Structure 1
Amino acid sequence: MKIKLLPKFIISLGIVGLILTIATSLFSYATSKSYLGKMYAKRVMTNCNVIAAMIDVEDVKTIISDGGNQTPEYQKMCKLFNQLKKDGDVTSLSLVVPDEDSVCFYIDALVEEMGDDPANQIPYGSDILYVDAANPDDPADMEKYITIWQRYAKNKGLDKPIVTDNDYGYNYTWVSVILDESGNAIAEIQYILDMSEARAYLISLLTNMLLISFAIIGLTIVAYIFFVRKMVTKPIGKLTDFTQEITETNNFENQRIEIKTGDEIESLSDSFNFMLEEIQNYISNLSKITAEKERIGAELDVAKHIQESMLPCIFPPFPERHEFDIFASMTPAKEVGGDFYDFFLVDEDHLAMVMADVSGKGVPAAMFMMISKTLIKSATQSGLSPAAVLEKVNNQLCENNDAEMFVTVWLGILEISTGKMICANAGHEYPVIMRKDGEFELYKDKHGFVLAAMEDIRYKEYELEMNAGDRLFVYTDGVPETINLSNTLYGTDRMVAALNRAKTGSCSQLLEAVHQDVKFFAGEAEQFDDITMLCLEIKNTLPDLKEIKIEPSLDKMPEVTEFFDRILSEAEVPAKTVLQINVVVDEILSNIIYYSGATSVKAGCASINDQVILQFTDNGRPYDPREKADPDISLPLEERENGGLGIFMVKKIMDEISYEYKDGQNILTLFKR
């Protein structure tokens, strides 16, 4: 709920007035109390000491001796005490002799005209215990009696009045000793003065001060409120109404307000008029600014989509390839980013992977990124090695690099059939590798200089052996250099730990797990760099094959052909392809039977992802049919060399052939799409 300015003034002034009133009254009360306290303390001390001085010591000895109340001295002393009590308006005036635990009263002055009740007079010789005289609810009261006795034992009276404020009343008490010729105390005068009237006076003073202060400050506040209303709230209210009217009508043209107060409020109205002129100018230009901003936004959106379209974004990218799984992602810090990744098949047996980070952010970095990506892909597809690619692209980027931008690059080319990967690193982050059934670990490879910084830089290559179940993770510095609100780096240790927590997932799940971990770590902190990641997993090179094992003899060939026909028929392989595969099977088995010297043969077959895979394993002599030169079929039949036509036919029928000799076995694998 909003409260207007004038009520706020009234409330605040009222609070200030209340504080001033209470403070002034309490100060007056405290000052008066201190003054009266000192005045009455001096009075009881002076009067008590005078009385003690004017009393004859011999008379005191007579009075406190046995039968002293029957002597003329007693009568004379009682009369004197009564007169002194009356003249001094004393509450209690007594001649007493204290000891360790009690006090003995010899004279207790009584003046009935002052309201004293004879029934309350303490008789001569009354010995009253301190525990009976003290207030049982006030432990400090007992201490006062003990103090008087301790002073008396030292032949001294009090050096300051004792203040009693309890159920027995509010009193000032003074004690003066009567000394004999040897200076020993023989009795003392007990002088008590009632302070209730003084207290009543102080309370009356406090009440009057409160009332007077309230009245004075209240009138001052009322006068000040009228002044504030005229000089402050009314002009401000006028300005508020004017502002609300403009806001509701949304009309700023030629609107002005005139306030003449000769102070800051008038200056505020002048500033407001100036602001209206500026708003009017701003509104006239706003449509142009908005249109320009929308145009820039649209162009940035187009640039973002162009950049995204340049990166591989359809997954799985090679659905017909079962040898590996690959996934990548990029999250730019701005509309467009400087990071990029790429992967592509150089040929059927070589997969190239690129991870790169351009210096800078925004549109310039994005343009440099597109140039770099195009040059790297073009050089790689030309058949160059990773080091040669980086050397060539570095020199190309150095040409006319007036912006002095640079790019870090990690490039790897995987030979799919063998798992051998040749890599080169131009100032990029270390890759992370996980071996089968192992943990992710940083692989601290050889770093070269960044691209586009200096011409004719030489780069070194290194080789990785990637087997089934192994994984490779590459990334840009946006991952480890993410910071949170505490300005703490995410770091490679957290990244590797996140990878290991999600190592059982697929490549896409792995990247998502790292991204979520980075996001959780950063919290509300703004992303300041692009986050780009790529993960490669090497799969088993072949799916599970259905196999048949036979002795290498011609009468077993129909059994193998029938076995293959059944598998291909169940997989609904086209009849034409089945006939071609039967020719291949006959040719391969014939070669093994006639020429290899094998004693056992194992034939396997599978159909997956629109591809037929054949594999023949025998323990014969090593023989790679791919090394057999193709016959020149352009020559007449009589001029050709014998043999080789069957293997040539196999090569023509099948799309891909691989061979290895391992553990004393020939392993020939053929693929047909």
Structure 2
Amino acid sequence: MWVLAGATLVFVASGYLLFRMVGQQVLQQAQRESGAWASQGSSLVQERLDNITNTARVLASIIGPRPLDAKPLIHDAMAGNPDLAGLAAAFVPGRPAAREAGQSPFVGRQSDGSLAMRDLAKDAQPYWNTAWFQRGLACSQGCWHEVFRSQSRHRLLVSYSSSMQADGAAIGVVNADVTLDWLQGILQSMQLPAGAHAFVIDQQGMYLANDTMERVGKKADNTLLDLLNAPSLKGHANAHELDQQGAHVWIYDEPINGTQWKLAVAVPEELIYAQVRDAFVAVLVLGALTLLILGLIVMVTIRRTLAPLGVLAERAEQVSRGALDFALPRVRRHDEIGRLTHAFDKMRRELAAHLEELTRFAREQARLASELDIAQQIQTALLPGPHYLDARCHNFELYAALKPARSVGGDLYSYFMLPSQRFCFMVGDVADKGIPAALFMARTITLAKAMASHAQSPQQLLQLINQELCRNNDNCMFVTLLCGFLDVVTGHMTLASAGHDPPVLWGNHAPTWLPVTSGPALGLDEDAAFPVLRTRLRPGDTLLVYTDGVTEAANEALEHYGGERLLARLGQFQQSGDPTQFLAEDVESYAAGYGQSDDIALLALRWNHVGLEDETSMLDLAFPATLEKVFDALDHCEKRLHDAGIRSGLRDDVRLVLEELMVNMVHHGCSGNPAGCIGLRMMILEEAVLVELNHEGAPFDPLQFGAPALTGDLADRNDDGGLGLHLVRAMSSELNYTHDEYGNHLQLRFANPTEHGHGT
């Protein structure tokens, strides 16, 4: 019964769709044929009307210069054109042409076909005041007038006027009257199918011709007129759809050029679909009989086929209860039932072995789960704590969070202190999941911690890590990593990105993206370069670094969390809490119906600026690389040191070192760039004086030269690594050098004796 019901449904649905498709094609064919009928009828009417217009124009062009020939010319034209009901040559009274012609002749055709002539000037009503004459004078190219009913001839007539010209002025009008009886003959000659009918309608909505004779001369229904004046249906030229007395009718019209008439063909939709509907009824009856026979055949076949399956169903119930020792019926046929019986017996024998294998596999799964738990603990041990507070000066606070999509994952974060009051932090994402990504992540963190002390910038650290990851990387694994160095005293921060998403910065302003130019991911190109971004954090600023597991988290509608929502949610966060926890909970709530599809790592660094505001004095200068500006800057430095209470000996050391370095920058470092600029930044702490020098000259590392041999004439030493650089290294407690696309950067630290218990 289900097979029969399904086949019936398919048959009915396919029949309906086929009927709709064929019906559309039939409708389109009917529209093309009906449009052709309308066009053909319009052409026939136009041909007859063109004969009238040509006659009137030719007469007007001949009679204009020859008024005396008006009477014989219009008489001959009437005799040669049976479509004409009347023809007149009316002159403007008082004009020379009227005086020359002597009359305004009119020739009319009588009911018996004979011609009668009279002078229009002798009519009781002056013709020159009539509408056809006044309008005809302005029709140098001819024009049709409205249809009128002749009271004397009791027929519908229409007139065509063409003005007669002489010396560039209108001297009269040739007016031709035409009966419309021949329109009925044209409609009958169109040979329309039974049920369809045609009609001609004028601009006033009057029937000029109609298959139904009693409608001729009457006004059409307003609904029909509105439909004919409306735009045609899309895709069907001049086609209109009309519901008329419960019947659906298609109307196709064509305008008759030179007039405001329309010829239309009306075809009932019932007529269009009649043959198709009859054919489909016959098909449905035949299909119903076929389905009935098919149902009987299927029923008998299925009952015979399913009988052996009852025995197999009973044996399957025994298997579900754990009983595997039973006998199956003897196989008598080698069809699908016989094959199924053999397969069932084989399954019975193999099921016991499979149950034993499942038990062993369950033990293996338990062991693997235990090992994954241990791997997760090891991975977590590689990461620092989720919260870090700068204990020395409370200048910054850090929050972090890691949520693997599986037991272990490939996202990472790390942070640690470096020499010279620098704090290193990083967030990365390995391009994989599971154990391989976790191992690659562990290798990345280990390399970062091992090489950070040898790097002077995040750019250099990324280069060192990338070179190590590229070695023996046969599987082409890679990691995106964003690394930053923070000066924990001043808040100056340097960022470098290896294919990672840009971080977000917000505080006293709305959250915005930091425009960090990214290099390629680590592990792919050993010679890759990583541009840096330098900025300075303001009090209350928070930097958020994240992985794509945040922005690509999806909800049930598969809509991503996205960057716009990330910025909007951060704008609603209160600065007093943990932003990583806030954002992780929001992402989890957003993806609650879909689940976490990727690892998530978050790191937020909040800059409080406490130490710098309370304990430091700062000088930040930028000036042209000239000796005059150098010594002005030295005077500013010495005054700031004096005001801060730094003892004179340390002030002299700082001035001497800065003078040696900046004079070298003027004479050597900026020789190729006279417009170069030197940047000087000095921070005065309780325990030390920190100085950073920046200049745009050629790369020059003062740390690459060893101490000079203090023999010979020291005053004449001017080679690289001479006495000046030796004094710089000797007088400063720490000296670090880096170079990038922005130039050379020197960081110096001068220990203040007060940190050893001596007074200033």
- TM-score, normalised via structure 1 length: 0.46
Return the index of the structure with the highest Cα Rg: 1
- TM-score, normalised via structure 2 length: 0.41
